[in-house]
Homo-oligomer: A and B are copies of this chain.
Amino acid sequence: MSLPTSYRQWTLANHPTGKPTYSGSSATFSLETKDLPSLTDGHVLVQVLYLSNDPAQRGWISSPDQIEPERLYVPPVQVGEPMRARGLGKVLASKAEGFSEGDIVQGNMCWREYAVLDAKDPAQGLRVAKELPGGLSITHYLGALGGTGLTAYFGLVEVVGCKAGEKVVVSGAAGATGSMVVQIAKHLVGAANVIGIAGNDEKCKWVESLGADKCLNYKSPNFASELRDAVKSAGGCDVYFDNVGGEILDLMLGNMSRHGRVAACGAITGYNGEAPLPMKNYFNVISMRLEIKGFIVIDYLHKAMEVIGKLVGAVKEGKVKIGDENETVVKTKFEEIPGTWLKLFEGANQGKLVTAL
């Protein structure tokens, strides 16, 4: 088989103002064809198969005028660089120890057809993606067994130190991260009680099927009192895993037990510059000695392999269920990669949005 000598790539051409675009003279992204560098020692040549789509990618391409680079999670993408994206690929040729032709690998693929990657560069994070049990698609390494599962695990276990017997509340419980938090809390940590919060009754049923003792619909007109009653019945709330921020966070501040901890994982309002979050119950942070801890999963990636092993083991034992609900895989032509990514911001996907090339 002859190896490719060139590849196509989506390059950041302009920092977007408003919604990113991928056609026209001032487009955010431009499609380029590049020569592949020759394969040197310690490197692998990879064909990109799947790309992860993440809201955080929007921040990486923001204009430095809009956001100070040092306040981003990771360095921003510079104009002229390929659009950064995690993904899965197939090794076509390897000069790196531990990687063989035919291996499926995950790492920082970028929006490229092919890539020559340094196997030891931590920024690439290249590793072999082993087959999953029960015929599960390897794309779950981009979601439930990748970023979202790790976010759930590290947030719950490392950031706020959730322990067996504690009472947990999770918002966004039907989401990619939240559904893993529910299962990890109940089935791995051994929480005494898990209350989920989700956006409709059907989602709530699903969350309860995953092991939540109760799941509340935040669109209910009596949500505030239902939440209060549910937490009281559970005997309190030691850990709140917050995927949404805003009003639900504020309500939870008024429902936490003394010395309760909030794992601050997401705040929807933050992304779009909507009205400031009201914090009617902030004083509880002081009077109840609460702790709100923000975190980003990338700070914990040095422990990722160990935790992915645990999660895969839990899937094998049937303790953690993952399946089609956890991802939406969109078969995409190379020319349409930005278009699939933009679907993220329309909220059309259920679970992790994955681009299949």
Contact = CB atoms under 8 A, between A and B. Distances in A.
Interface in A230-253: 245, 250
Contacts of A1: none
A264 interface: yes
A265 interface: yes
Nearest to A277: B279
Given A289-B294, A292-B293, 16 more contacts: A71-B284, A71-B287, A245-B282, A264-B286, A265-B286, A267-B285, A269-B283, A270-B283, A276-B278, A276-B282, A278-B278, A285-B292, A286-B294, A286-B295, A290-B294, A292-B292
A279 B247 CA distance: 11
A295 B266 CA distance: 24
Contacts of A189: none
13 contacts: A71-B284, A270-B283, A277-B282, A278-B278, A286-B295, A289-B293, A289-B294, A289-B295, A289-B296, A289-B299, A291-B292, A291-B293, A292-B292
A171 to B, nearest CB: 14
A297 B258 CA distance: 14
A73 B287 contact: yes
A288 interface: yes
Interface residues of A, number: 35
Interface in A67-98: 70-73
Interface string A32-76: 000000000000000000000000000000000000001111000
A280 interface: yes
Contacts of A283: 245, 267, 269-271
B245 A287 contact: no
A150 to B, nearest CB: 15
Top 6 A-B pairs ranked by shortest CB distance? A270-B283, A276-B278, A285-B294, A286-B294, A277-B279, A276-B280
A270 B286 contact: yes
Nearest to A295: B289
B287 A294 contact: yes
A280 to B, nearest CB: 4
A91 B72 CA distance: 61
Contacts of A271: 283
